[in-house]
Amino acid sequence: MGAKTALLAYADGDVASALRKAGEPAAEGTAALLARVFPGRAAEPTPADVLGDSTYPPEHLTYAASFPGVDLVCDRRLMFDRPSELPAHLLEAAAGRRVILHAMHSVSDWLAFAVWESGRLVRSLSLSPDGGIAENIGAPFPFEAPYWAGDRSVASEPEWDEEPYPLPFHPLELGDEALRALFGFLLEGRPSPGDVDPQEVPLLGFHLTEPDPSRRGRERAALEEAARRMQRRTLRLGPDGEWSEAADG
């Protein structure tokens, strides 16, 4: 299992139904989406990709798409150990729509997903074998039932003298099931006939930058010059016993 995700969706209804008829992303709608999700950053277009290859982009890239019925954003900055702490502006960007967050990392066997309905958190789960259950809020969804019931436990290998897996199931296995239930597609495993093919869902690529890099450069130069001036200060003790700054030279 090697799947990784950093995926946020705003949906009017069923995500899978919207993705099946997605077509090409709306450029203006996608730009407006990024402005809401990452306010204050400029979006420079980069080559497009597909959902199946973009759920966990490189650190310097963002993939997003605005389709009728659903908006998608893939970006590592959307990975939260405690999804309930999702920044307020990300919930406000939904404007009352359903919000779905899905994040998982195969190196640490970490999974987090959460769903908000009309701005109210209805389910949040975050867990890993090393960190245990970091968050478990709301009633589990039906697709979670066999995992919590012990029907998807991780088999131990007695011949390797392994200790029992510290969780009642493997987070990545539940993560795949959550992807299918919440988004309609899988990254690993055998897809069902009704699953969305993530290789057929196009996303637009972006590099997000500060809106005025030159301003940041000017501010940095001013701070460095101020630091240099402070380093050049010379203090002298006057005849009245008070310290004062001596003139340069």
Residue 149 has pLDDT above 60, yes or no: yes
Same domain, 225 and 238: yes
What sign does the CA torsion over 175, 138, 126, 98 have? positive
Per-residue pLDDT band for 156 (boundaries 50, 70, 90) equals confident
pLDDT of residue 86: 96
pLDDT of residue 234: 45
Same domain, 49 and 156: yes
Residue 5, helix vs strand vs coil: strand
pLDDT of residue 186: 94
pLDDT of residue 231: 46
The arithmetic mean of pLDDT across residues 148-169, rounded, is 81
Same domain, 126 and 17: yes
The arithmetic mean of pLDDT across residues 163-171, rounded, is 90
What's the residue count for the chain?
249
Same domain, 172 and 233: no
Residue 235 has pLDDT above 50, yes or no: no
pLDDT of residue 215: 55
Same domain, 22 and 96: yes
Same domain, 195 and 220: no
The arithmetic mean of pLDDT across residues 125-130, rounded, is 95
pLDDT of residue 230: 45
Residue 243 has pLDDT above 80, yes or no: no
Q: Which residue has the higher pLDDT, 59 or 7?
A: 7
Same domain, 49 and 27: yes
Query: What is the average pLDDT value for the chain, to the nearest integer?
Result: 87
Same domain, 161 and 228: no
Same domain, 142 and 74: yes
Highest mean pLDDT among 148-152, 159-163, 239-243: 148-152
CA distance 94 to 54: 22
Same domain, 38 and 123: yes
Domain that holds residue 24: 5-209
By percentage, how much of the chain surpasses pLDDT 90?
A: 73
Overall domain count for the chain: 2
The arithmetic mean of pLDDT across residues 102-127, rounded, is 96
Same domain, 62 and 166: yes
Per-residue pLDDT band for 225 (boundaries 50, 70, 90) equals low
Per-residue pLDDT band for 224 (boundaries 50, 70, 90) equals low
Per-residue pLDDT band for 210 (boundaries 50, 70, 90) equals confident
Same domain, 176 and 235: no
CA distance 153 to 156: 9
